Structure 1
Amino acid sequence: MRHAAAFAACLLPLIADGAWAQAAQKAPATVTVYRCTNAAGKVSLQDAPCAKGQGQQSREMLRPVDAPARPAVPAPPPVAPSAPAPPPRTVYLAPPRPMYECITPEGKRYTSDDGRGNPRWVPLWTLGYPAVRPHSVLGDNIGHPDKVVRPPHRDVNWPVATGGGTWVRDDCAMLPPREACARLRDRRSELRTRFFNAQEKERDALRGEERDINARLDNDCGGR
């Protein structure tokens, strides 16, 4: 018991010194600044007492403390090199193909890509020429003023046993581009409607025609 009391008496000063040192570390340190003035009136500031013969003023000030170091800013990740731009593409578009609307003598309308119209064979008399027979030649009207002079046999396309005639084509007119595109889309709708009831061979033909229409819409009409 006596030894324990002696040990505690020895330990108390050590504890007290440690507490004072810890308090001293936490308390802000001060510094004395001396303001010295010499005989010429020049003023200087220093941390030591002024020399003899100089006027002296002192002041306690907090010791400057360095600011805490800033945390290191991580370096930005390296920027991956951008992929080179692809070379420019050159697209060649064919000029829009014209579309024509043709009319038969019966008033039926249909479209054509070349504007020539369907050909048909007609007798010459339907075009206003008088009816003639193949054996008529120039000079037959001599002595017969009521006869009309006919062209020679070699100048007329005489069909066999049918009388004179010629080939004529239906009248056609070019459609405006917007109307042509509308006709193409209408035709594609007709093909798709027929496709469901068509036989396999006809379906192959319908598929091919629809591909042609789609390609033409992409090129001539700016899309489908």
Structure 2
Amino acid sequence: MRVVAALVACLSPLFAVAAQVPPAPAKPATTVTVYRCTSATGKVSLQDAPCAAGQAQQARQMQRPVDAPARPVPSSPVPPPAAVAVPPARDVVYLAPPRPLYECVTPDGERYTSDDGRGNPRWVPLWTLGIPVARRPMPGGGIGSPAPPSHPAPPPRDRLRPLVGGGGTWVRDDCAILPPAEACARLRDRRAVLRTRFFNAQEKERDALRTEERALNARLDNDCGGR
């Protein structure tokens, strides 16, 4: 009896606490009964309660609809990074330095152009350059052909080397560089002359004229900014 009394004394507080705890809410049924009712006039209705008296009744167990889970609220979209404007690529054209054009003058005043500034060579006697010419005495006291000087004077600058044993030397016409605008005008004039000659030229000469005109066009594009 004492043991039973002790057990009752120990379990009494537990029963008291259990009585104070509210029961857990019952889970809703996963199925539902749907009633199909047909009246005497043939009208059909569906309802979740039994049919009224006098109506034909059909009951069917169906899956209870379940609400769809709440859709997550979309967070504010992160804006894409701003596109960096890339400048369009530019064509780079490397041009060669303009080539100079020279105008040369002959002793007769005739003018022509040269690409290298070296005029046409011509043969002139030494005495025309102010170089003294010695003559060898002939037998009997006469004067014969001039004797070559033992120490000839050096030829002027930009002149060709004198021929050994001759009475003259090669010299070149004087040349001066043309301004860029005048040089371009002379190149276009030269191309116009080539085109005029082209119509009356033979086929072999036409090939040479075409080659020369292509070279002129390329030089005009590079040196003069266009044709």
TM-score normalised by structure 2 residue count: 0.50
Instruction: Give distance in 2, aligned partners of 1:152 and 1:112.
Output: 34
1:198 is the counterpart of 2:201? yes
1:222 aligned residue = 225
Partner SS, residue 196 of structure 1: helix
Per-residue deviation, 1:158 = 4.4
Partners in 1 of 2:110 and 2:204 — Cα distance? 28
Say yes or no: does 1:152 pair with 2:151. yes
SS of alignment partner, residue 106 of structure 1: coil
What residue in structure 1 maps to residue 111 of structure 2?
Answer: 109
Contact in 1 for aligned 2:194/2:213 (Cα 8 Å)? yes
| 1:187 corresponds to 2:190 | yes
Q: CA, structure 1 residues 158+207, in 2 after alignment: closer, same or farther (shift >3 Å)? A: closer
Conserved? CA contact 1:159–1:165, under 8 Å: no
The residue type equivalent to 2:205 in the other structure is E
Q: Compute the displacement of 1:179 (Å).
A: 0.3
3-state DSSP of counterpart to 1:92: coil
Q: Which amino acid aligns with 1:152?
A: H
Shift of 1:166: 1.7
**Unaligned residue ranges in structure 2 (runs of 5+):** 1-85, 138-147, 155-160
Equivalence for 2:97: 95
The CA RMSD measured in Å over matched residues stands at 3.0
Distance 1:158 1:210, change over 3 A: closer
Tell me the equivalent position of 1:118.
Answer: 120
For 1:210, which of 199, 209, 213 is the aligned residue? 213
Q: Give the count of matched residue pairs.
A: 128
Q: 2:176 aligns with which of 157, 173, 176?
A: 173
Secondary structure of the corresponding residue to residue 200 of structure 2: coil
Aligned to 2:129: 127
Ranges in structure 1 where 5+ consecutive residues have no aligned partner: 1-83, 137-148
Separation (CA, whole Å) in 2 of partners of 1:150 and 1:98 = 40
**Deviation by residue 1:100-158 (Cα, 9 ceiling, x = unmatched):** 0000111110000000111122111111122335x79xxxxxxxxxxxx9443798844
State the partner residue of 2:143: none
Write the distance in 1 (CA, Å) between the matches of 2:153 and 2:104: 32
Residue 185 and residue 157 in structure 1: after superposition, are their counterparts in 2 closer, same or farther (change >3 A)? closer
Using the TM superposition, give the Cα deviation of residue 89 of structure 1 relative to its aligned residue in structure 2, in angstroms.
3.0
Residue type at the aligned position of 2:217: N
In structure 2, what is the Cα distance between the partners aligned to 1:110 and 1:101? 6
Query: How far apart, CA to CA, are the structure 2 residues paired with 1:219 and 1:121?
Result: 37
Identity between Structure 1 and Structure 2 (%) = 73
What corresponds to 1:63 in structure 2?
A: none
Secondary structure at 2:94's aligned position in 1?
A: coil
User: C-alpha distance in 1, partners of 2:212/2:163?
Assistant: 39
* Partner secondary structure for residue 95 of structure 2: coil
Cα 1:220–1:129, aligned 2, differ >3 Å: closer, same or farther?
A: same
Q: Is the 8 A contact 2:131 2:153 kept in 1?
A: no
8 A Cα contact 1:103 1:171, kept in partner: yes
Partner Cα separation in structure 2 for residue 153 and residue 110 of structure 1: 33
**Structure with greater Cα Rg:** 2
Partner Cα distance (1:158, 1:218) in 2: 43
